[in-house]
Structure 1
């Protein structure tokens, strides 16, 4: 018989890679929000869940259970095969640790699959996320990467992550690049999904001496950074990275690939068009319509993004800032690494 597992034990094992979390809710529920690192092996498809739910409301619990059993029985071999492909111990969960996770755990256990069920399901997990955010506590120092649009700050973060440095990628969690064009080609996260990923990252790095983040506004796409973390970020060490404009333009083109969704770029541009001097706005219109994206990006940098960023560094105390002039993101990552490994401390012992 399968056993339930507490949330604390679940996290400890998941953090060590000793457990795979399996969300047995429908694909739609999984997409909306889940426990980070989970895989989705649904008991019901979205349509099947709607059908069983309608039966429950209109006919009764027993009719819904009977139909659920019929659906599950037909897909049982494929369902179990997916469990057997995972070679670590497993923990299943549904919304509140009810019928779906109990059914999944029972049949998996009967087939000899090592499985637990998460007590309280994702509802108890969501309560934990909320309680962690309410604590408003994050111990590590924060080192913030700033720079003009196109500096490649996210790319630099990931280059440092590959070298073992702790990072929290807020844009990655938000699934949004932070600009008016930031949603294009992505599916922005909702607040629940963002909060879950953020709390997991904070949990992972709680004992680290510092964590690297990108300079962000309070709001990224559809989500907001918690006040306590945003305020701490603003009071932390700020590194300002400068790259040649040609590099920045190429970074933007590489990231956004505007030629794939030209209409989406044109629509996003129209939301900021009124903030740009009319003759320049007309040039940008023409270059967008002509598919001259390099020229478009240069005009946007020269007449919209760079002027808005000009005075950003001045809002921070000088003893909390440093400037890095680099030729590429790789060069910038290398210089940040040097600062983090000693030279930065020698220049200003008040930092880090």
Structure 2
């Protein structure tokens, strides 16, 4: 008998040997369940052709043609990606709505003897759960923000806290972007839906009863937008502020963004998108620094003349309790470990109930 489920909690998903998405590659690329593998029963061109025939031609011919294509593709998967699976293989299979495509795959699996399960409602069941959690209901997690000017080492400190067992949420890693004009990473960003899937999956694995440390961000990371429930929770979250001298911030930024110097054309394109309120002469000088490879001087100027004033302006409009402040004189592993220990003590000493002890 074919099993069906709508339980997509982390524990339930982790209980399957594989999560198989049988939709087309284009559908899969836009978004998919975490950890899913794509074994399409119709590829993009086949799906388009069958759909066109169904709408504009003969429904009977569309079904017959589709059935033949699906049978061949399932056979190819059985002889390819699934060839080494033994009789105990227990996959979760889904398509767009949990209908014909996943039904075809699971019917064959059931005949083989594999105890396969269909996701009832397909990908749309997953998407409804993601949207409900990130758009429709308040976030249950107790967030604490790491805040500080650009180059102060927020992401590095977040990583050090995670290594100490502190619950953390790395939004820049989930969005595949460092969150600044120069923050693009190789491979580009996930789609908005895929970013939200990553975010929902990460949040669902965190204990809402324990603090979750997250880097203070704007409402947009690159081209990805923070969903309303998360943004609302961040807007009222208490803060741990990081303070680092300019020299340390310059050195850390140069090291972190080392790839900038390796691609002068990309760096120049980024500088050309700087806000128009900077004087033309200033922008020209920054582009000249980039062209001659004087990255430390460029970084210093950008920090002091662009990022620090912007940080000051946004900070003036924030009204969040400050749990405490952490000083980072440098960003060596020992410095970051000491800062993480200090931040951990601040978290342990704060009730996180909207008040904070004196900084």
Q: TM-score normalized by structure 2?
A: 0.84
Q: Which of 270, 273, 277 is the aligned partner of 1:271?
A: 273
Q: Deviations over 1:227-281 (max 9, x none)?
A: 3432322222211223344543444344441245433332222121533233332
Q: 2:336 aligns with which of 329, 332, 341?
A: 332
Question: Is residue 2:30 matched to residue 1:32?
Answer: yes
Please state how far the C-alpha of 1:307 moved relative to its aligned partner: 2.4
> For residues 337 and 313 of structure 1, do their structure 2 counterparts lie closer, same or farther at Cα, with a shift above 3 Å needed?
farther
Give the match for residue 215 of structure 2: 214
1:11 is matched with: 9
Contact kept, 8 Å, 1:154 with 1:214, in 2: the verdict is yes
Distance 1:68 1:348 in 2: 57
> Could you tell me how far apart the structure 2 residues matched to 1:99 and 1:41 are?
15
Instruction: Give the structure 2 partner of residue 59 of structure 1.
Output: 57
Q: Which residue of 2 aligns with 1:83?
A: 82
User: In the alignment, is the contact (CA less than 8 A) between 2:146 and 2:154 conserved in 1?
Assistant: yes
CA 1:158–1:100 in structure 2 vs 1: closer, same or farther (change >3 Å)? farther
CA distance in 2, matches of 1:24, 1:106: 13
Deviation of 1:125 (Å)? 1.8
When residues 135 and 267 of structure 1 are mapped into structure 2, their CA distance, relative to the original with a 3 A threshold, is same
Pairs within 5 Å for 1:1-352: 1-5=1-5, 7-8=6-7, 10-11=8-9, 13-14=11-12, 16-80=14-78, 81-83=80-82, 89-256=90-257, 257-272=259-274, 274-310=276-312, 313=315, 315-316=317-318, 319-326=321-328, 327-328=330-331, 330=333, 331-341=335-345, 345=349, 350-351=355-356
By how many angstroms is 1:304 displaced? 1.1
Between Structure 1 and Structure 2, the one with more helix by share is: 1
Change over 3 Å in CA distance of 1:343–1:270 after alignment to 2: closer
Distance 1:22 1:255 in 2: 37
Residues 42, 155 of structure 1: CA spacing in aligned structure 2 closer, same or farther, 3 A cutoff? farther
Unaligned 5+ runs, structure 2? none
Distance 1:74 1:16, change over 3 A: closer
Provide the rounded CA distance (Å) in 1 between the counterparts of 2:138 and 2:304: 39
Greater Cα shift, 75-84 or 166-175:
75-84
- CA distance in structure 2 between the partners assigned to 1:329 and 1:60 by the alignment: 68
CA deviation profile, 1:40-89 (whole Å, cap 9, x unmatched):
22222222222222232333333223333333444445412423557863
Any conservation in 1 of the 2:323–2:350 contact (CA below 8 Å)?
no
State the superposition RMSD in angstroms: 3.1
Q: Give the CA deviation at 1:168.
A: 1.8
Q: Whole-Å Cα distance in 1 between the matches of residues 145 and 245 of structure 2? A: 20
Is 1:24–1:42's contact at 8 Å kept on the other side of the alignment? yes
Give CA-to-partner distance per residue, 1:124-177, whole Å, 9 cap, x none. 222222222344222332111112222332233233323332222222232322
TM-score (norm. length: structure 1): 0.85
Q: Output the CA distance in 2 between the equivalents of 1:316 and 1:333.
A: 28
Aligned-partner SS, 1:128: helix
Distance 1:249 1:209, change over 3 A: same
Conservation of the 8 A alpha-carbon contact between 2:98 and 2:121: yes
Tell me how far apart the structure 2 counterparts of residues 290 and 304 of structure 1 sit (CA, whole Å).
21
Does structure 2 retain, via aligned residues, the 8 Å contact 1:138–1:206?
no
Which whole-Å CA distance do the structure 2 matches of 1:125 and 1:318 have between them? 34
Asked if structure 1 preserves the Cα contact closer than 8 Å seen for 2:42 and 2:73, the reply is no
Q: 2-side partners of 1:294 and 1:85: how far apart?
A: 53
Q: Tell me by how many angstroms 1:24 deviates.
A: 1.3
